[in-house]
């Protein structure tokens, strides 16, 4: 089954392409289930996401595409939600949609995957930062609000790795994810970033498989031409 559940739209202000253009690209790649999960609104980091007022418009676009392309593809409606304690909003968490992806992009309000703030890596202990990051993942899972874990080891994006074994650092987060009955995505956006590998890494993926945690796939496309990368990756890595 060709599934691609993590994709953005121009509403988040850092992606291009209309909903229909993404769906048409997905159909051209032979995708069967294509989900939108644009960045949900939040009262923080406002410039990289839709506003609360735009949720209706976003959902209208996705629902129109569901109808328009229903003979060719199943289009799903989701959101990528930042797990950031103090900023969680019921208007997002209680929204009626197909799924919510829970992602950690902030550690203590530090946008660690934003190249603007890369200087901060010079002043931190990476083992501590990884512990803190996976601690947030664990809390995110325990909150019970989400269906899919977004880019599980995003913290490696700029090639800053922990000294300790990442499988140990991630252990409690994985346990909580399993208990919460969530899926973890294989997200290929890392291939476009300095780290040049998908999320999660091979070692973590082995842990995930041994815990029997379900897996889903995401292009994390922010441009139309990023929609097909996932399928090339799947073919080479899993021969699917
Ligand atoms: Zn984005
Ligand atoms: Zn993300």
Q: What is the number of the ligand closest to the CA of 14?
A: 1
Q: How far is the CA of 151 from the centre of ligand 2 (A)?
A: 7
What order do you get walking across the sheet with 74-82 strand by strand? 3-4, 33-39, 74-82, 99-103, 148-149, 183-187, 215-218
pLDDT at 240: 52
Q: How far is the CA of 28 from the centre of ligand 2 (A)?
A: 24
Q: Which residues contact 26 (CB under 8 A, 6 or more apart)?
A: 4, 34, 73, 227
pLDDT at 20: 97
Q: How far is the CA of 156 from the centre of ligand 1 (A)?
A: 16
Q: How far is the CA of 127 from the centre of ligand 1 (A)?
A: 26
What is the Cα 164 distance to its own chain's centre? 25
pTM as predicted: 0.96
pLDDT at 228: 76
Q: What is the number of the ligand closest to the CA of 101?
A: 2
Q: What is the number of the ligand closest to the CA of 148?
A: 2
Q: How far is the CA of 7 from the centre of ligand 1 (A)?
A: 9
Q: Which residues contact 169 (CB under 8 A, 6 or more apart)?
A: 127, 130, 131, 134, 162
pLDDT at 194: 96
Residues with CB under 5 A from ligand 2 (ion): 103
Q: How far is the CA of 144 from the centre of ligand 2 (A)?
A: 19
Q: Which residues contact 89 (CB under 8 A, 6 or more apart)?
A: 41, 42, 43, 52
pLDDT at 53: 98
Q: How far is the CA of 127 from the centre of ligand 2 (A)?
A: 22
Q: How far is the CA of 213 from the centre of ligand 1 (A)?
A: 25
Q: How far is the CA of 201 from the centre of ligand 2 (A)?
A: 16
Under 8 Å between Cβ of 152 and 137: yes
Q: Which two tokens stand for residue 157?
A: 């994006």
Q: Which residues, given as ranges, of the chain have pLDDT below 50?
A: none
* Neighbour count for residue 5 (Cβ, 10 Å): 26
Per-residue pLDDT reduced to its tens digit, 67-124 = 999 999 999 999 999 999 999 999 999 999 999 999 999 999 999 999 999 999 999 9
Q: How far is the CA of 14 from the centre of ligand 1 (A)?
A: 6
β-pair type (106-107, 3-4): unpaired
């Amino acid at each position: 089954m060709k599934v691609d559940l993590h994709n953005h739209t121009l509403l988040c202000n850092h992606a291009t392409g209309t909903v229909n253009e993404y769906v048409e690209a997905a159909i051209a790649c032979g995708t069967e289930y294509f989900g939108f999960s644009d960045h949900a609104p939040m009262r923080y980091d406002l410039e990289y996401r839709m506003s609360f007022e735009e949720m209706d418009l976003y959902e209208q676009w996705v629902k129109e595409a569901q109808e328009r392309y229903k003979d060719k593809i199943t289009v799903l409606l989701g959101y990528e939600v930042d797990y950031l304690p103090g900023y969680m909003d019921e208007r997002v968490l209680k929204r009626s949609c197909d799924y919510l992806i829970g992602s950690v992009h902030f550690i203590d309000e530090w946008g660690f995957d934003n190249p603007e703030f890369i200087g901060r890596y010079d002043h931190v202990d990476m083992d501590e930062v990884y512990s803190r990051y996976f601690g947030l993942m664990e809390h995110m899972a325990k909150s019970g609000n989400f269906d899919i874990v977004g880019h599980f080891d995003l913290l490696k994006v700029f090639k800053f790795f922990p000294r300790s074994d990442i499988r140990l650092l991630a252990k409690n987060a994985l346990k909580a994810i399993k208990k919460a009955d969530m899926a973890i995505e294989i997200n290929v956006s890392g291939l476009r970033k300095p780290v040049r590998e998908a999320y999660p890494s091979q070692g973590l993926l082995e842990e995930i498989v041994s815990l029997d945690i379900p897996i889903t796939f995401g292009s994390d496309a922010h441009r139309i031409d990023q929609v097909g990368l996932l399928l090339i990756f799947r073919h080479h890595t899993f021969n699917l």
